[in-house]
């Protein structure tokens, strides 16, 4: 049976599943989704893992085992996540093989706390790549200012990279250039580039969420041209994505990429992320329908994926009405909604949101770990540096007093021992003499008894 999800693939778009949890793997559900043709890839993020571990007991047995081995919370989560990602990659391996490495990927994200640390991001991407050790793995790196050079280096290292948290057209252009520079560097070092895959995750519905809020504030605030403000609601996200796709087609049709393509270079496909509908006034497949086009990926959460399979109507709409999309951006600027400010806030909020989810996730794992070990759930707060110094000084003074008292007591004891030695010696001699008398007494008694028996005879 040809479903809307299969028709997406026929039109050149890969439907991926934006979700992972242990039960999805152990129950065989993920395998069935792959075999049925519903999905051709999978993405994960800290929020998804937080929900998976916090809301189920699926991980408890492994968590207890890892806690007993002495692993801390970060190490336990790392082991749990890598296990899930490996298993998911194995389930999607047939898609990877069937498509010649064009599809069938599973993504795992570097820790969000490294989003603004280029060297640490590079090291973590390498570690995840080597530890998971699957050819159909993609390591997710956020498209922050610090993330862009990490993306270039990781591509040059030969890693598959999923660039996440892209909101602005400017940042997207930087991401594509980083990908191309990484390929060029690798090729110039004499290494192959034909097996390197990458996607650029461009976030969609979050743009409408913020822009619509700004438009509503202007409407309720008594701004002029209320009809125009109202008509722009729900249009910014799709317009932004359409313009991004136009930039993708332009960038990868240049002579620069043509030369790389001759060496087997793959396209860095746009991946539409955050395609679930946040506003109930819009269709539950609103964003998926608008962004169907060749050489793209759409990663959908479970509800959106099920909705599209049920009543999606795929048609290649992505490359249409690009001029209208530019007009929408111009109108937003006219009414005082600057997309540069919008996308900068969304990037900052996105990094902060994932970091918060990651911290919450680690807190959940730590709580389970301490419960498994039967230890206290709360770790005492570290004292401020000044307080620690005062406490150390007190301990030092106390230690000196204790040593002084101990030394004085030792001298006193030694003196008393010397004075009491003669008395103890006399007592010991007296005791010995008394014992000797007691031993001789039965002998004299026996002699007297023997003398009396002789007299009787």
Q: Which residues are catalytic?
A: 140
Whether residue 215 contacts residue 229, with contact meaning beta carbons closer than 8 Å, is answered with yes
Element (H, E) at 330: helix 322-334
Whether residue 265 contacts residue 156, with contact meaning beta carbons closer than 8 Å, is answered with no
Task: Single out the residue of 265, 268, 267, 284 nearest to residue 276, CA to CA.
Answer: 284
Element (H, E) at 374: none
CA 257/CA 268 separation, integer angstroms: 11
CA 42/CA 430 separation, integer angstroms: 95
Environment class of residue 394 by beta-carbon count within 10 Å: exposed (0-12), middle (13-18) or buried (19+)?
exposed
Query: How does strand 161-166 pair with strand 42-43?
Result: unpaired
CA dihedral 442, 444, 450, 451 (to 10 degrees): -160
CA 9/CA 126 separation, integer angstroms: 31
Whether residue 180 contacts residue 256, with contact meaning beta carbons closer than 8 Å, is answered with yes
CA 41/CA 30 separation, integer angstroms: 10
CA distances from 413 to 203, 281, 427 (A): 80, 90, 20
Whether residue 85 contacts residue 137, with contact meaning beta carbons closer than 8 Å, is answered with yes
Task: Single out the residue of 174, 143, 342, 320 nearest to residue 238, CA to CA.
Answer: 320
Which 8-state DSSP code applies to residue 358? Answer: H
Please give, one letter per residue, the 3-state secondary structure of 126-159.
HHHHHHHCCCCEEEEEECCCCHHHHHHHHHHCCC
Contacts of 139 (CB under 8 A, 6+ apart): 107, 108, 109, 110, 125, 128, 129, 154, 159, 160, 161, 162
CA distances from 213 to 195, 202, 340 (A): 43, 20, 16
Whether residue 267 contacts residue 295, with contact meaning beta carbons closer than 8 Å, is answered with yes
Tokens of 146: 């610090």
């Amino acid at each position: 049976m040809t479903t809307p999800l299969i028709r997406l693939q026929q039109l050149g778009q890969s439907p991926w599943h934006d979700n992972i949890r242990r039960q999805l793997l152990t129950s065989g559900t993920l395998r069935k989704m792959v075999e049925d043709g519903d999905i051709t890839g999978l993405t994960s993020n800290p929020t998804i893992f937080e929900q998976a571990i916090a809301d189920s007991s699926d991980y408890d047995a492994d968590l207890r085992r890892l806690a007993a081995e002495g692993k801390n919370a970060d190490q336990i989560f790392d082991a749990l996540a890598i296990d899930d990602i490996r298993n998911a990659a194995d389930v999607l391996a047939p898609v990877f093989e069937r498509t010649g490495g064009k599809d069938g990927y599973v993504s795992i994200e570097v820790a969000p706390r490294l989003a603004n640390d280029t060297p640490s991001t590079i090291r973590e991407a390498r570690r995840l790549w080597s530890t998971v050790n699957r050819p159909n793995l993609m390591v997710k790196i956020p498209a922050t200012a610090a993330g862009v050079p990490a993306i270039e280096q990781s591509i040059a290292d030969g890693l598959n990279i999923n660039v996440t948290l892209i909101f602005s057209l400017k940042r997207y252009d930087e991401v594509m250039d980083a990908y191309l520079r990484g390929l060029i560097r690798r090729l110039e070092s004499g290494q192959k580039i034909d097996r390197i895959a990458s996607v650029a995750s461009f976030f969609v519905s979050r743009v409408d969420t913020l822009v619509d809020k700004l438009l509503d504030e202007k409407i309720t605030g008594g701004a002029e041209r209320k009809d125009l403000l109202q008509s722009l609601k729900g249009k910014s996200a799709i317009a932004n994505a359409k313009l991004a796709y136009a930039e993708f087609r332009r960038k990868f049709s240049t002579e620069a990429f043509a030369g790389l393509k001759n060496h087997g270079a793959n396209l860095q496909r746009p991946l539409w992320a955050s395609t679930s509908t946040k506003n109930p006034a819009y269709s539950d497949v609103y964003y998926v329908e608008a962004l169907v086009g060749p050489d793209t990926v759409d990663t959908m959460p479970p509800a959106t994926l099920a909705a599209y399979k049920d009543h999606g109507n795929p048609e290649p709409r992505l490359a249409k009405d690009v001029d209208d999309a530019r007009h929408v951006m111009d109108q937003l600027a006219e009414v005082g909604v600057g997309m540069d400010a919008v996308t900068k806030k969304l990037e900052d909020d996105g990094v902060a949101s994932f970091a918060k989810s990651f911290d919450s996730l680690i807190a959940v794992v730590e709580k389970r770990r301490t419960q498994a070990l039967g230890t206290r759930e709360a770790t005492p707060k570290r004292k401020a540096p000044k307080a620690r110094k005062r406490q150390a000084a007190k301990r030092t003074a106390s230690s000196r007093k204790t040593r002084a008292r101990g030394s004085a007591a030792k001298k006193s004891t030694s003196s008393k021992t010397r004075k009491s030695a003669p008395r103890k010696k006399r007592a010991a001699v007296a005791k010995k003499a008394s014992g000797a008398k007691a031993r001789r007494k039965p002998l004299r008694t026996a002699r007297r008894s023997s003398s009396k028996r002789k007299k009787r005879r």
